[in-house]
Structure 1
Amino acid sequence: MTTTTDYIPGDPALMLTVLRSASAGLGQEALKEKVLSLFCCDDDGTQIILQDSPALRTRIEYAKSHLKMAGLIRISADGTLTITSLGEAMLITYPLGIDDGVLCSLPAFRNRLYSEHAPAVRAIPNAALNYGFSAGLGAHRLTENPYPADSREHEDWLMGWDEALDQDKREKETLLN
């Protein structure tokens, strides 16, 4: 048997162990002991004895935070884990393991993950599009596009012009109804 301080069990087994620990109402120390008792093998099939390490504790915290984010567990002030009814259902549905792919099927997890890690999008003004929109509102003809036909600006002007016509059409339809 190999002993290691840097081997970390896969996410499905680790998250399942954390979820089962929450079902049993275990505290921090009992959870760590449960994780350390996991049967793990390396790629060659050799059993690995897990040892407490900062990397392992980080992975346990990662699993706990993701399970909490998904609404599967609650963590009390003293670190005791409790399972939610959704967590109980997930234990039944996924008895072999739970990973981020499974958690992404849950809207609460997906929305929280996206809100925390979505890239910041900043609108970049597009002068050609705005100019085309103004031209469309001003009833200018399509042939009045000032940009070369093979340029991006030409396409942007056309999109703006077309959007202005669509907006005008929608406004007229609204007034008729």
Structure 2
Amino acid sequence: MFENDFPLLSTASLVALIMHKAGSGPVTLESCETALAALFQQANETPGLPPEELRERLAGHLADLQTARILEPAPDGGWQLTRRGRRALEQHPEGLDQTDLARYPEFAAHLRDTAHKPCGMDPRGAHFDEGYLACLNGLPFTANPYAFDNADHQAWENGWTEAQEEREQEPPR
């Protein structure tokens, strides 16, 4: 196991925890947090992440499960398993990951709807795209218009290199 690898925090493990807990009645974010804390205590481990990040992960998985219609709002608050959720729990007692969830049409549609929206993680995506297009248009690697010692240069270079690698992998025509 790697130093920062916590199997109990994998997507499948957290989703399994939520689904098993929901299998015996409605769940809330708080009840999932309590169940996760109990698992860590039983394993004599610590999560290795701040409580806010654990809460955020669980909340994200609850939202994903609702999007996939595995969970639905419970009448008294929280979430409960749907009929689809009960089947999913029977078929995947070890949990589901994003690949599994993508098999559900509602979740796949959600991924398509959110896939191309900027997430703010890479402020230099446009420079990457510039480099990528430069390669496709036949410009040489040396055509990078940005100063060598900055991140814009690197982003352009990464885009150009990505396009070049894809070209090399294409079967000859």
What interval of TM-score do these two structures reach, taking the shorter chain for normalisation? Answer: 0.5 to 0.7
Q: Which residue of 1 aligns with 2:73?
A: 75
Unaligned 5+ segments in structure 2 are 119-136, 138-173
User: Does the residue aligned with 1:25 lie in a helix, a strand or coil?
Assistant: coil
Deviation at 1:26, TM superposition (A): 2.7
Deviation at 1:49, TM superposition (A): 2.6
Matches within 5 A, 1:26-105: 26-39=27-40, 48-50=45-47, 53-76=51-74, 79-105=77-103
Q: Which residue of 1 aligns with 2:125?
A: none
* Higher strand proportion: 1
Cα separation, 2, equivalents of 1:8 and 1:91 = 18
Q: Which residue of 1 aligns with 2:11?
A: 11
Unaligned 5+ segments in structure 1 are 41-45, 121-150, 152-177
Please say if residues 15 and 96 of structure 2, whose CA atoms lie closer than 8 Å, have aligned partners that are also in contact: yes
Cα separation, 1, equivalents of 2:62 and 2:40 = 20
Cα separation, 1, equivalents of 2:77 and 2:55 = 14
- Who wins on radius of gyration, i.e. which is larger? 1
Please say if residues 14 and 63 of structure 1, whose CA atoms lie closer than 8 Å, have aligned partners that are also in contact: yes
Cα separation, 1, equivalents of 2:69 and 2:93 = 18
Cα separation, 1, equivalents of 2:113 and 2:27 = 30
Cα separation, 2, equivalents of 1:97 and 1:34 = 15
Deviation at 1:115, TM superposition (A): 1.4
Cα separation, 1, equivalents of 2:29 and 2:115 = 27
What letter matches 1:63 in structure 2?
H
Deviation at 1:28, TM superposition (A): 3.1
Please say if residues 14 and 61 of structure 2, whose CA atoms lie closer than 8 Å, have aligned partners that are also in contact: yes
Instruction: Say what the alpha-carbon RMSD is for the aligned residues.
Output: 3.3
How far does the alpha carbon of each residue in 1:53-109 deviate from its partner, in whole angstroms, 9 at most, with x for none?
101000001110111110100134864111100000000111112111110111111
Cα separation, 1, equivalents of 2:22 and 2:14 = 12
Deviation at 1:21, TM superposition (A): 2.2
Please say if residues 73 and 87 of structure 1, whose CA atoms lie closer than 8 Å, have aligned partners that are also in contact: yes
Deviation at 1:37, TM superposition (A): 1.9
Q: Which residue of 1 aligns with 2:166?
A: none
Cα separation, 2, equivalents of 1:119 and 1:33 = 34
What letter matches 1:14 in structure 2?
L
Change (3 A) 1:25 1:76: closer
Aligned residues: 113
Say if 2:120 is the partner of 1:108: no
Change (3 A) 1:56 1:79: farther
